[in-house]
Structure 1
Amino acid sequence: MTSVLVLGGYGAVGVHVVERLRAAGIDALAAGRDASRADRVVDLADPRSLESGLDGVAAVVNCSGAEDPAVAAAVAGRGIPFVDITATSEYARELELVDGPVLLGVGIAPGLSGLLATEAARAGGPVDVLIGLGAGEAHGPAATAWTYGLLGKRFNDPDGSQVRNYTRPTRFYLPAEAGYPRFPALRTDFADQHRLTAKLGVPVRSYLRLDSRLATLGLAALTWAPRVASLVPAGGMPGGDGWVIAARGGDGRSWWATGRGQSRATAAVAALAVQRVLQRPIAEPTWLHEMASLDELRPALSEAGIALGAG
C-alpha cells in the first residue's frame, strides 16, 4: 500500500489531510515530534530524523507550518514529491528553486484561488482574486502567525509599485451562498498571485477580507502600527467559519468557491493534490493550477462540501 507522510499530521489542517487520504484508501502517516500522537516520529530540526522518516514513503505533505526549503530539498532530492500548503510568497519562491518534485498551491488560497483565477483569465485581465475567511474559526498557530506576520510589510504589484498589506480596499461581488455582508477587501500578499501573473500573462492581484467587518478593519488599522498586534488578546475574533474565494476577470464575470471550515477545505484540496501527483508524477516545482483544471476537480470538490459557481 502507498504511504504518504503528513508532516504536522495531528495539527489543524494535517489531521483532516490524514483523514481524507485514509478515506481514499491511502496509508497516511501522521508525523510530528509528539510520540503519543504521531504514527511516525519526525523532528524537522534533525536531518537524520527526517531521513529515517522517509523510508517507504511515496509522497510528503507539509502541514507543519515549518517553512524550511532544506526540508523540501531533502525530500524532493530522493525523488519523493513534496506537497506544501504554504501561502507565504518568500518561501514559495524558495520552493520554486528546489531541484525535484515539489507541488505548491494545494489549499484554498493558494490552491482554489489559482484554479478560479485561471478560469477568470480566459476573458482577459486584470484578474482580481478575493479570499474571504471566517474570523471566528479556530486556526492553527501557523495560520495566525502568517496573518499577523504580513502587518506593515510590502510586496510588489504587477505594475511595479510597492503595496502595503491590508490596504487599497476594493469591493467584490460575492455569492449569496457565502453569507458575507458587503464591505471591501484589502490587498494581501498571497504567494500564487505572483506565479499567476507570470504564467497567465495578465495582472493578478489578491485581496483578503474576513466575514467580520470589525476584524477586517482591525487588520487595516494594525498594518500601520504592527507592533500593537502583540497586544491583541488571544482567543479568536468575532465571526464564523464560512470562507469564500472569488476571481473576477477583465469582463467583470466572477468565478467562485465557498464552504465552511477553512482547515477542512484546505485539507480536502491538499488530499486531492496528493492523489493527483501520485497518479501523474511531476519532476520539478509545479503549482496545482498548472497540472489540474477546475472542471477536472469539480466532482471531488463538490463531494467535499465545496460549492462552485460563476456569475
Structure 2
Amino acid sequence: MTSVLVLGGYGAVGAHVVERLRADGVDALAAGRDPARADRVVDLTDPRSLESGIDGVSAVVNCSGSEEPAVAAAVAGRGIPFVDITATSEYARALERVQGPVLLGVGIAPGLSSLLAAEAARTEGPVDVLIGLGAGEAHGPAATAWTYGLLGKRFDDPDGSRVRNYTRPTRFDLPAEAGYPPFPALRTDFADQHRLTQDLGVPVRSYLRLDSRLATVGLAALTWTPRIASLIPAGGMPGGDGWVIAARGGDGRSWWATGRAQSRATAAVAARAVQRVLETPITSPTWLHETATLDDLRPALADSGIALGTG
C-alpha cells in the first residue's frame, strides 16, 4: 500500500494534509518528535532518525516549517519524492539545486497562485498576483515567522530594481465572494514569482494584503521598523479566516480563487499535488505549475469548498 509521510503531520497544515490524504484512501503517516501525536517519530535534526523514518514510504510532504535543504536531499537522494509547501525564496532556490524528485510551490501561495498566474499569462503583458489572507486565522508559528521575517528585506523585481517587502501599494478588483473591503495590496516576496517570470516569459509580481486594513497598514509600517515586530503580543490580529488569490493579466482580466481557512486550503492543494506526483513521477526539482494545470486541481478544490472564477 502507498504510504505518505507528512513531516509536521500534527501541525496547522500537516494535520489537514493527513486528514485529506486519508479521506482519499492514502495511508498518511503523521511524523514529528512527539510520540504521543506522531504515527512515526522523526527528529529532523537527527539524520539517523530521518533515514529510518522514511523507510518504506512512497513520498514525503514537508509541513514542518523546517527549511533545511539537507532534509530534502536525504529524501530525494533515495528516489522518494519530497513535496514542500514553502513560500521562502532563498529556500526554494536551494531546493531547485537538490538532486532527485522535489516538488515545489505546493499550497495556495505558492501553488494555486502559480496556476492562476499561468492562466493569466495567456494574455499579453505582465501578470500581477494578489494573495489576500485572513488576518484572524490561527496560523502556525512557521507562517507567522515567515510573514514577520520579510520585514525590512528586499528582493529582485523583474525590471532589475530592488523592492522592499510590504511597499508599493497597488489596488486589485476582487470578487464579491471574497468579502474583502477595497484597499491596496503590498509587494511581497513569494517564491514562485521569480520562477514564473522565467517560465511564463512575462514579468510576474506578487502582492499581499490581509482582510483587515489595520493589519495590512501595520505590515507597511513595520517594514521600516522591523524590530518593533518582536513587541507585538501573541494572539493574532483583527480579521477573519477568508482568503482570496487573484492573478491579473495584461488585458486587465483576472483569474481568482477564494475560500475559508488558509491552512485547510493549502492542505487540499498539497494532498492533490502529492497524489499527482505519485501518478506522474518526477526525477528532478519541479514546480507545481510545470506538472499540473488549474483544471487538474479543479475537482479537489471544489470538494474543499474553494470557488474559482474569472472576471
Question: TM-score w.r.t. structure 1 length?
Answer: 1.00
Give, in angstroms, the shift of residue 192 of structure 1.
0.1
User: 2:93 matched to which residue of 1?
Assistant: 93
**SS of the residue 1:145 aligns to:** helix
Deviations 1:233-275 (A, max 9, x none): 1100000000000000000000000000000000000000011
The within-5 A match list for 1:1-311 is 1-311=1-311
Contact 2:153 2:165 in 1 (8 A): yes
Deviations 1:154-211 (A, max 9, x none): 0000000000000000000100000000000000000000000000000000000000
Give, in angstroms, the shift of residue 27 of structure 1.
0.4
Distance in structure 1 (CA, Å) of the matches to 2:53 and 2:231? 39
**SS of the residue 2:283 aligns to:** coil
Give, in angstroms, the shift of residue 125 of structure 1.
2.1
**SS of the residue 1:298 aligns to:** helix
Amino acid aligned to 1:138: A
Unaligned 5+ runs, structure 2 = none
Distance in structure 2 (CA, Å) of the matches to 1:297 and 1:12? 22
Deviations 1:269-302 (A, max 9, x none): 0000011000000000001111011112112211
Give, in angstroms, the shift of residue 68 of structure 1.
0.2
Distance in structure 2 (CA, Å) of the matches to 1:111 and 1:137? 20
**SS of the residue 1:70 aligns to:** helix
**SS of the residue 1:124 aligns to:** coil
Distance in structure 1 (CA, Å) of the matches to 2:193 and 2:310? 20
**SS of the residue 2:117 aligns to:** helix
Contact 2:187 2:208 in 1 (8 A): yes
Runs of 4+ in 1 over 6 A off after TM superposition: none
**SS of the residue 1:271 aligns to:** helix
Unaligned 5+ runs, structure 1 = none
Distance in structure 2 (CA, Å) of the matches to 1:296 and 1:199? 19
Distance in structure 2 (CA, Å) of the matches to 1:113 and 1:306? 13
Contact 2:9 2:18 in 1 (8 A): yes
Aligned length: 311
**SS of the residue 1:49 aligns to:** helix
Deviations 1:23-55 (A, max 9, x none): 111100000000000000000000000000011
Contact 2:269 2:297 in 1 (8 A): no
Give, in angstroms, the shift of residue 303 of structure 1.
1.1
Distance in structure 2 (CA, Å) of the matches to 1:44 and 1:139? 22
Contact 2:135 2:240 in 1 (8 A): yes
CA RMSD, aligned part only?
Answer: 0.4
Question: TM-score w.r.t. structure 2 length?
Answer: 1.00
Give, in angstroms, the shift of residue 4 of structure 1.
0.3
**SS of the residue 1:122 aligns to:** coil
Give, in angstroms, the shift of residue 304 of structure 1.
1.1
Distance in structure 1 (CA, Å) of the matches to 2:87 and 2:18? 20
Distance in structure 1 (CA, Å) of the matches to 2:58 and 2:140? 26
Contact 2:4 2:61 in 1 (8 A): yes
Contact 2:41 2:53 in 1 (8 A): yes
Distance in structure 1 (CA, Å) of the matches to 2:188 and 2:174? 18
Distance in structure 2 (CA, Å) of the matches to 1:234 and 1:21? 31
